[in-house]
Amino acid sequence: MRSESAVEVRELEKTFRTGWPRRRRQVALRGVSFAVRAGSIFAVLGPNGAGKTTLLSILGTLLLPDRGEARVLGLDVVRDADRLRERINMASGSASFLWSLTPREILDITARSYGLSGAARRARVAALLDRFELAAFAGLPYNELSTGLRQRLALAKAFVNDPELLILDEPTVGLDPDIAVRVRAEIAALRRERRMTVLLSTHYMGEAEQLCDEIVFLREGRILARGDPASLKRQILVGDRIVMSVEGEGWRGVVRLPGVLAVSAEGGRVECLVDDARKRLPEIFRYLGEQGVSVSDVGVTEPSLESVFIALAR
């Protein structure tokens, strides 16, 4: 593996057998190859079922690949799994713990599993409770913690062994926006302080654009595109992004207009990716007027990473 790479994957494949009573093959990864630069934040993006969690689970030594090779920190994820687990860690947005255990007990048990004992273990647990602002809740059972506190606990647990590489699977899923912002800031700060490598999967394109140095897009187990956020937008999207507030449902037909490449909506805001905003705006306004849709707060900007995701996921 190249010395500047923390992760190197070559022709990775994984297939599952699902269904009952008739079993069928479901291909999760198809010849996936890439490298991750040491000290970077690297995102794995794609729609549901694209293979993101399968890929991260293989790199985290939780699943065995069917074919191909993956090396993390210079170690083979199959042959060197035990040694590798001492140097990496994982956190998931869907993580859960025994409901009767407290944050202090969860971190203490985890520290014991990594061989920490006595004063060193107690000091590590106390430091993590402080760092992730959990000290005030250290004695509460897990089932009494809010979603945000549970997420911070999962992150704290992932730092018990001071990992060189951290794998985060949907770290902010289900969090309130203000809590999600704090979690992202914590991830960025920890990467800067410790110069660790972070592998991240997320459904939030703004999160990937804000945090990540490089991104790989998966669909149906294959890599469709790879690059930094700016280069991906240049490579894949040519055109403009029109954002507007709308009232009414008649906007959905906009996607059928000439020059409209993609349309998405969230909370009364509609985003249209078009080939030329100056040419297409009058046509869009005319169509929306005919459909009885009122429009306000219109803006034209460069395409977003979410526009890239929509274009690739189609």
- pLDDT tens per residue across span 57-84: 999 999 999 999 999 999 999 999 999 9
Amino acid identity of residue 195, one-letter, is: R
For the sheet with 294-301, list strands across it.
260-266, 269-274, 240-247, 294-301
**pLDDT above 80 (res 239):** no
- pLDDT tens per residue across span 184-238: 888 888 888 888 999 999 888 888 888 999 999 999 999 988 999 888 876 666 6
For the domain bounded by 238-313, which CATH number is listed?
3.30.70
Q: How far is CA 93 from CA 32, 88, 89, 149, 168, in A?
A: 24, 17, 14, 12, 8
Give the torsion sign (CA, 96, 98, 103, 106).
Answer: negative
For the sheet with 165-169, list strands across it.
88-92, 165-169, 197-201, 41-45, 214-219, 222-227
pTM: 0.77
Task: State what percent of residues in the chain have pLDDT above 70.
Answer: 95
**Segment holding 90, helix H or strand E:** strand 88-92
Distance of alpha carbon 90 from alpha carbon 152, whole angstroms: 13
3-class secondary-structure state, position 117 = coil
The C-alpha angle 185, 187, 191, rounded to 5 degrees, equals 115
CATH architecture of 1-87+166-173+191-236: 3-Layer(aba) Sandwich (3.40)
Radius of gyration, CA atoms only, the chain? 22
Say if CB 263 and CB 270 are below 8 A apart.
yes
Q: How far is CA 259 from CA 237, 240, 264, 265, in A?
A: 13, 10, 15, 18
Mean pLDDT across the chain:
90
- pLDDT tens per residue across span 150-184: 989 999 999 999 999 999 998 888 777 888 888 88
Distance of alpha carbon 171 from alpha carbon 105, whole angstroms: 22
User: Counting every residue, how long is the chain?
Assistant: 314
Q: Cite the DSSP H helix spans in 60-176.
A: 81-85, 103-113, 118-131, 147-158
Say if residue 11 is exposed, middle or buried (CB neighbours under 10 Å; 0-12, 13-18, 19+).
middle
Give the residue extent of every domain in the chain. 1-87+166-173+191-236, 94-162, 238-313
Distance of alpha carbon 222 from alpha carbon 14, whole angstroms: 11
